[in-house]
């Protein structure tokens, strides 16, 4: 597969990290591999921690011309100079987020394995739709976003699609021809060398 035809990497932060050290680790990853977008996906509800983490990651990302979106927290986007929001609740919040953030912001929606939710999110103005988990996992219900969903979407729908969740080299190789982006996060951050791990996964894209 030609480089221009393969999916772009959509990088997802860990759900928790040390604000003092993670920005340096993030910078090394962004300097090593071309990243299309960064999602700040912290699980914390501590507002001060979120603000400090978003500020630090935004500086690293914007220094490298990488857009950054934040998971869930629409109100932080303009306040912190971020590029948009990733909504984990399918199509439900897309219209409100688009109205609040305007046409220039990135609004993405995670739609699990629901084709219907994905189409609705796209109709309401989502810039991308994410499906997952695309790999095999025992987490949650264990229901997987199968390759057939991505193949159908890529053929029928113009809105870009992201494959994410439990990705390994074999899954990435299978999905490469039928997805626009691959969302990679925990797959690398839990490794001893995130850069080397990401490069290995990138190689599987062809």
pLDDT in tens, the chain (206 residues): 445 589 999 999 999 999 999 999 999 999 999 999 999 999 999 999 999 999 999 999 999 999 999 999 999 999 999 999 999 999 999 999 999 999 999 999 999 999 999 999 999 999 999 999 999 887 777 799 999 999 999 999 999 999 999 999 999 999 999 999 999 999 999 999 999 999 999 999 99
Model pLDDT, residue 3: 53
Model pLDDT, residue 2: 47
Helix, strand, coil content of the chain in percent (nearest 5): 45, 15, 40
Q: Which of 9, 7, 16, 8 is nearest to 190 (CA)?
A: 16
pTM score, two decimals? 0.96
Model pLDDT, residue 4: 59
Fold of 3-203: TIM Barrel (3.20.20)
Domain extent listing, the chain: 3-203
To 5 degrees, how large is the angle CA 161–CA 143–CA 196? 60
**In sequence order, what are the residues at sequence separation of 6 or more whose Cβ sits closer than 8 angstroms to the Cβ of residue 113?**
131, 132, 143, 144, 145, 146, 149
């Amino acid at each position: 597969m030609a480089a221009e035809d393969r999916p772009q990497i959509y990088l997802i932060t860990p759900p928790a990290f040390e604000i003092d050290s993670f920005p340096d680790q993030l910078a090394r990853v962004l300097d090593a591999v071309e990243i299309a977008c960064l999602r700040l996906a912290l699980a914390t509800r501590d507002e001060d921690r979120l603000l400090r983490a978003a500020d630090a990651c935004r500086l690293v990302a914007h220094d490298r011309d990488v857009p950054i979106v934040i998971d869930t927290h629409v109100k932080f986007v303009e306040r912190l100079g971020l590029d948009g929001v990733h909504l984990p609740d399918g199509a439900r919040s897309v219209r409100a987020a688009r109205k609040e953030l305007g046409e220039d912001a990135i609004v993405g929606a995670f739609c699990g394995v629901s084709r219907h939710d994905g189409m609705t999110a796209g109709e309401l103005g989502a810039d991308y739709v994410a499906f997952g988990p695309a790999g095999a996992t025992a987490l949650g219900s264990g229901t997987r976003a199968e390759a057939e969903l991505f193949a159908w979407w890529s053929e029928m729908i113009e809105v870009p699609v992201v494959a994410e969740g439990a990705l390994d080299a074999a899954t990435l190789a299978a999905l490469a021809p039928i997805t626009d982006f691959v969302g990679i996060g925990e797959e690398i951050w839990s490794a001893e060398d995130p850069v080397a791990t990401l490069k290995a996964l990138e190689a599987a894209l062809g």
